[in-house]
Structure 1
Amino acid sequence: MLSYRARRRLSLLALVVGLPLYIVVAVSVVNWAEARWGALPIWAALLVYVGLGLLWALPLRPVFRGVGKADPDAGGR
């Protein structure tokens, strides 16, 4: 299990570096699919982007859990 400080650092890295990279990859894949098979209807494109927007957070959920709270290892600071 990761320490509180390690989870904070990893979550910051995921948000600052990983999320922008994921956005670029997701938009590129959708654009490639639309170029190959034609444009999606607006409701389908919305579903794809909402699904991809939620998909990135699922594997990182344990890293983000409790990061916004006070450090449990800090004691009485």
Structure 2
Amino acid sequence: MALSYKARRRWSLVVLVIGLPLYIVACVTVMNWLGRPPILVELLVYIGLGVLWAFPLKMIFRGIGQADPDAPKEDAEPGEEA
């Protein structure tokens, strides 16, 4: 079942405002449990985890920055008088 444009916008906001900070805290906590690995390994783990969160949520964020495709289109072009 595909989500509507409005639902995807709402879920993307929830993910960015609530989910992403929780994910960051979880990643830092796990890295602290592992001790202090070499700096290059730590950097690679953080980069990997920083990209990893986006893959399962790709469909929610796709097209969010564009205009609503379900919105009614206006007949007049911008700058034209009716």
State TM-score, norm by structure 1.
0.91
Aligned to 1:32: 33
Q: 2:43 aligns with which of 46, 57, 61?
A: 46
Does structure 1 residue 17 correspond to structure 2 residue 10? no
- Greater relative CO, 1 or 2 (CA 8 Å, sep 6+): 1
What stretches of structure 1 move > 6 A for 4+ residues in a row? none
Q: Which has the larger radius of gyration?
A: 2
Superposition deviation, residue 33 in structure 1: 1.0
Letter in structure 2 aligned against 1:10: W
The 2-side partners of 1:75 and 1:14 are apart by: 28
Considering fraction of residues, name the structure with more helix: 1
Name structure 1 gaps, 5 residues minimum: none
Q: Which whole-Å CA distance do the structure 2 matches of 1:22 and 1:59 have between them?
A: 13
Q: How does 1:62-73 map to 2 (within 5 A)?
A: 62-73=59-70
The alignment-based identity, stated in percent, is 62
Residue of structure 1 in register with 2:7 after alignment: 6
Q: What is the distance in 2 between the residues matched to 1:48 and 1:42? A: 10
* AA of the residue aligned to 1:48: V
Task: Report how far residue 75 of structure 1 moved.
Answer: 2.3
TM-score, structure 2 as length reference: 0.86
Q: Distance in 1 between the 2:62 and 2:15 partners?
A: 13
